[in-house]
Structure formats: C-alpha cells, structure tokens
C-alpha cells in the first residue's frame, strides 16, 4: 500500500477512535445527569411525603463548600494590628497562645482560639451617620470581611465572611463611644492560611436532606415548609493553633432555624 494511502488510513482510524471516546464521555455525562435529576426528584418527593414544602430553586444543586483547615498566622496578626493601630507595634507574648500588640493608638490582642479584643484611643476612627459602614471599614483593616447582623446599644455586631462565604460562629462587636470606634469585644475571627482538609468529605445533597428531616424530628420539632438554605462554615479551634472549617447548611423553616453539618449529617438548632 502506498505511504499516502496508509497515512490517510491511520488518520481515519485516529479520528474514529476519538469520536468513539467522545461519544463515550457524552453518554456517561448524560447518564450522570439523569441519575442526579432522578435523585433530586426522589428527594423532593421524600420531602413531600413527609408533608414538607420546598421551592425547587431552594434545593441545593450540590455541596458548594468543602471541608477546610486554617493554620494560625502570627506574622499576619502583627501586620493586621499595625494596620489598625496606624504604625509600628510592640509585640507582647502573654502565654497560653495569647499575643498583644500595642502602640500609642491602642492595643490588639489575639488568642489561639480566634478570640479578638481591641482597644482604641478616642477619635482615631470617627463614626458618622452610616455607623455600620464606618465600623466595617475598621474591621477590614484587620482582614475581617464583615456582614452586619445588627446594631446594639453599644455598637454593631458583624459576622465574618471568608471569600464571601459566611462563617456562622465568627462574630465580633464593634464598640462605639462618643462618636468614634473605641474597641472590638466579644468576638471570634478567622485569620490564617486556609487549605483543603483532605481527611474529611461531605455527604451527598440527597443524604443531607434526609438527615435534616430526621434530625429535626429527633429534636422533637415538626416543620411543614423549608423557607431557605444558606451554605457556610462553622469554625472550631484546636490546641495546636489550627482552625477546622466545617461546611454547614443554615436552614430556615416555618417553625425555626437549624444547622446541618454536611460532613457528619448532625443537626442542631441554630443559635
């Protein structure tokens, strides 16, 4: 056979092989899509059979968040303290994984469990008519992206966001006195190098829904409607200085709010 014809024959075989592989991939994707759609329909039917209403667009398509872990960053804490206090700071190790940074403008203290406390001299950060925005700008100097939850008699309560995702138990209160920010108290914050936690993985969306309903029942509660599901994290600190970030669903129902751990499937009432 002439070389030209042989070459064309080989190219034809390669093209046909690629088409077969493409067809196989498309077939597998279609099958996976059908299975996911069927699972979704079965789960919604399960909820309906339990007498629970949920709008289909509220039903999560997938587990958007994966388990993460953060390592404490002492250098980053000192840098953040210097930014907030507008200048170089003195470092004071206080034992028990507690570090205090200070200068003439105030002090910042970080604990190993994520606890944060701040004192500021009067007038450094004035608070205007939009106090929430002014306080959020102060928090941003600490690397704390905050979502305003409420205004209290002493200031503003913020929930921390990490890459736009809520950290449900990481909250701080920015205290305002005589027209300026005087400190930050009663707070937890996440600050460190975040990376995937390969030792844990999520359950499936369908399993999560089943665990949610069973968990609500085990608490002695009954709900007839799911009004919202928000995915976020709950953080817990270890003695080693690392912070475990566990993905959760914050679920709002007609009878109350619940938190579902999407790794273990555990359910508790939202705080």
Residue partners of 222: CB distance under 8 A and separation at least 6: 216, 255
45-54 long-range CB contacts below 8 Å, 24 or more apart? Answer: 46/209, 46/210, 46/213, 47/209, 47/213, 47/226, 50/213, 51/224, 52/213, 52/223, 52/224, 52/225, 52/226, 53/224, 53/225, 53/226, 54/225, 54/226
Give CA torsion, residues 48, 231, 243, 261, to 10 deg: 0
Structure confidence at residue 51 (pLDDT) = 85
CB 128 within 8 A of CB 136: no
Alpha-carbon distance of 243 to 266, in angstroms, equals: 19
Structure confidence at residue 30 (pLDDT) = 46
Structure confidence at residue 158 (pLDDT) = 96
Kindly report the CA angle at 76 between 71 and 79, in degrees rounded to 5?
170
Structure confidence at residue 26 (pLDDT) = 57
Strand partners, 181: 176
Alpha-carbon distance of 209 to 13, in angstroms, equals: 48
Alpha-carbon distance of 68 to 237, in angstroms, equals: 12
* Residue whose token pair is 């007839």: 224
pLDDT by 10s per residue, the chain, length 271: 565 666 666 666 766 676 666 666 555 654 545 655 666 777 778 788 888 888 888 888 889 999 999 998 999 999 999 999 999 999 999 988 899 999 999 999 999 888 999 999 999 999 999 999 999 999 999 999 999 999 988 899 999 999 999 999 999 999 999 999 999 987 888 888 899 999 999 999 989 999 999 999 999 999 999 999 999 999 998 766 789 999 999 999 999 999 999 999 999 999 7
The model carries a pTM of: 0.83
Pairing of strands 155-162, 165-177: antiparallel
Structure confidence at residue 2 (pLDDT) = 62
């Amino acid at each position: 056979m002439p070389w030209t014809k042989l070459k064309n024959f080989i190219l034809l075989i390669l093209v046909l092989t690629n088409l077969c592989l493409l067809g196989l991939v498309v077939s597998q994707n279609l099958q996976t899509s059908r299975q996911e759609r069927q699972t979704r329909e079965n789960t919604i039917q399960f909820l309906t059979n339990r007498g629970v209403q949920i709008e289909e667009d509220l039903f999560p398509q997938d587990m958007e968040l994966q388990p993460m872990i953060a390592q404490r960053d002492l250098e980053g804490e000192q840098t953040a303290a210097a930014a907030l206090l507008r200048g170089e700071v003195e470092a004071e190790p206080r034992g028990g994984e507690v570090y205090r940074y200070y200068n003439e403008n105030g002090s910042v203290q970080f604990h190993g469990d994520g606890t944060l406390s701040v004192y500021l001299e009067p007038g450094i950060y004035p608070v205007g008519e939009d106090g929430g925005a002014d306080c959020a700008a102060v928090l941003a100097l600490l690397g704390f992206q905050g979502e305003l939850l409420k205004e209290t008699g002493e200031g503003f309560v913020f929930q921390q966001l990490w890459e736009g995702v809520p950290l449900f138990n990481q909250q701080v209160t920015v205290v305002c006195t005589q027209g300026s920010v005087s400190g930050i108290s009663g707070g937890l914050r996440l600050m460190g190098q975040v990376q995937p936690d390969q030792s844990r993985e999520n359950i499936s969306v369908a399993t999560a829904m089943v665990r949610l309903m069973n968990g609500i029942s085990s608490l002695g509660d009954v709900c007839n409607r799911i009004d919202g599901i928000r995915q976020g994290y709950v953080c817990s600190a270890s003695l080693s200085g690392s912070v475990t970030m566990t993905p959760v669903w914050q679920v709002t129902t007609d009878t109350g709010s619940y938190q579902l751990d999407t790794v273990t499937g555990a359910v508790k009432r939202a705080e």
